[in-house]
């Protein structure tokens, strides 16, 4: 069985924020299946910040997407034809199928959907890679203790909202930072944070830092780093001794090529940063979640019942149609998404 699909190609490398002409659309016919392959009709694919890094021709933890290749993404879909033992027509699977509505992929590169609750797109968000990232980073590198204070940026996104809710559940004072009043209201009302600061209403790191001091005069024990930039500069001076900084992402710098122009201001020069880490005895731990997939099913077992019962909330921002994927992705890099961004194809 074969079919005709549509997919999104990286047509040129962006300089700064991507533009629509960095992407092109391609119609294609799927080749006949060879032994071990499956044909998957994609239902949803994920749009994530890390994809910006893959668009650059720069050394990272994963190779860049080549010009002329399909944009990479995790996706969920239904098997339409199978030449792979163990995968049947009608099975729902997760795999790295890309920005496409149809995929021929080796059966060994997909896994049967590990979640049983609906919608299946949750396997891309709260119960997928980003939720797993928040759970892993907080528990392994944040080492949270009841009574401590945690700060997390991009708090209404799938990583931040997982971190914030687990933090509250574990008894920490939890402060979110987000990019609008609407997002801050959601962070408080839906995700239960104690305070949320709108980073766009503070022009300087010093002003944001002062606002943070007002809501957390006791200082910060865990800064879950999602954003970098102004947030990073504001929080570092507020860290307590023996504080922990799980370094998960730094989205505010992703459009600056290979990070070359992300200069620290005078308030946080490199020596000042190192001195803070030294004298406050901070633990700074970078991590890449793909190194930890062997723990993913444990995460699903622990968190899926909380999502099913409504104890742990999620927010999904669904865009309908593959044609909208490039503009939605550009919006994500500017904070226009409200929750986990997925494309329904």
Shortest distance (Å) from residue 182 CB to ligand NAP = 10
Using the minimum distance from each CB to ligand NAP, give the nearer residue, 243 or 249. 249
Q: What are phi and psi of 150, to 5 degrees?
A: -120, 145
**Beta strands 220-224; 149-153: pairing state:** parallel
| 5 counts as binding ligand NAP under rule CB under 6 A | no
Query: DSSP string of 135-154?
Result: HHIIIIII---TT-EEEEES
Using the minimum distance from each CB to ligand NAP, give the nearer residue, 81 or 342. 342
Q: Which stretch binds ligand NAP (CB under 6 A): 33-41, 43-51, 65-73, 232-240?
A: 43-51
Q: Which of 104, 102, 120 is nearest to 112 (CA)?
A: 120
| Interaction pattern, residues 247-266, with ligand NAP; x per rule: CB under 6 A | -xxxxx--------------
Using only C-alpha atoms, what is the Rg of the chain? 21
Of the residues 178, 197, 322, 343, which one makes contact with ligand NAP according to CB under 6 A: 178
| Interaction pattern, residues 122-141, with ligand NAP; x per rule: CB under 6 A | --------x--x--------
Residues 267-296 that bind ligand NAP (CB under 6 A): 287-289
Of the residues 120, 141, 173, 183, which one makes contact with ligand NAP according to CB under 6 A: 183
Using the minimum distance from each CB to ligand NAP, give the nearer residue, 23 or 254. 254
Give the nearest residue (CB) to ligand NAP: 157
| Interaction pattern, residues 140-159, with ligand NAP; x per rule: CB under 6 A | --------------x-xxxx
Q: What are phi and psi of 64, to 5 degrees?
A: -70, 155
Q: What's the longest Cα–Cα distance across the chain?
A: 64
């Amino acid at each position: 069985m074969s079919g005709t699909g549509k997919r999104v190609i990286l047509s040129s490398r962006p300089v700064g924020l991507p533009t629509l002409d960095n992407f092109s659309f391609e119609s294609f016919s799927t080749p006949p299946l060879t032994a071990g392959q499956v044909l998957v009709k994609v239902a949803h694919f994920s749009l994530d910040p890390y994809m910006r890094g893959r668009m650059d021709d720069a050394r990272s933890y994963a190779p860049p997407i080549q010009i002329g290749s399909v944009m990479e993404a995790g996706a969920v879909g239904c098997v339409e034809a199978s030449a792979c033992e163990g995968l049947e027509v009608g099975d729902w699977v997760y795999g790295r199928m890309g920005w496409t509505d149809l995929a021929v992929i080796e059966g060994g590169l997909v896994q049967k959907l590990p979640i049983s609750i609906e919608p299946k797109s949750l396997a891309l968000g709260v119960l997928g890679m980003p939720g797993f990232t928040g759970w892993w980073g907080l528990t392994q590198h944040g080492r949270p203790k009841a009574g401590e204070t945690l700060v997390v940026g991009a708090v209404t996104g799938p990583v931040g909202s997982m971190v914030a809710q687990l933090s509250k559940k574990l008894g920490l004072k939890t402060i979110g930072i987000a990019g609008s009043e609407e997002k801050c209201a959601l962070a408080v009302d839906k995700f239960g944070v104690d305070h949320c600061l709108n980073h766009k209403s503070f022009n300087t790191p010093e002003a944001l830092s002062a606002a943070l001091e007002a809501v957390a005069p006791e200082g910060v024990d865990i800064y879950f780093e999602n954003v970098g930039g102004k947030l990073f500069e504001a929080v570092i001076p507020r860290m307590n001794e023996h504080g922990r900084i799980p370094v998960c992402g730094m989205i505010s710098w992703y459009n600056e090529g290979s990070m070359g122009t992300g200069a620290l201001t005078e308030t946080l020069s490199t020596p000042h940063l190192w001195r803070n880490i030294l004298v406050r005895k901070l633990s700074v731990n970078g991590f890449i979640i793909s190194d930890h997939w062997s723990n993913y099913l444990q995460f699903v077992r622990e968190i899926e019942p909380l999502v099913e019962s409504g104890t742990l909330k999620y927010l999904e921002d669904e865009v309908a149609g593959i044609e909208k994927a490039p503009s939605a992705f550009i919006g994500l890099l500017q904070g226009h998404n409200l929750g986990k961004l997925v494309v329904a194809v």
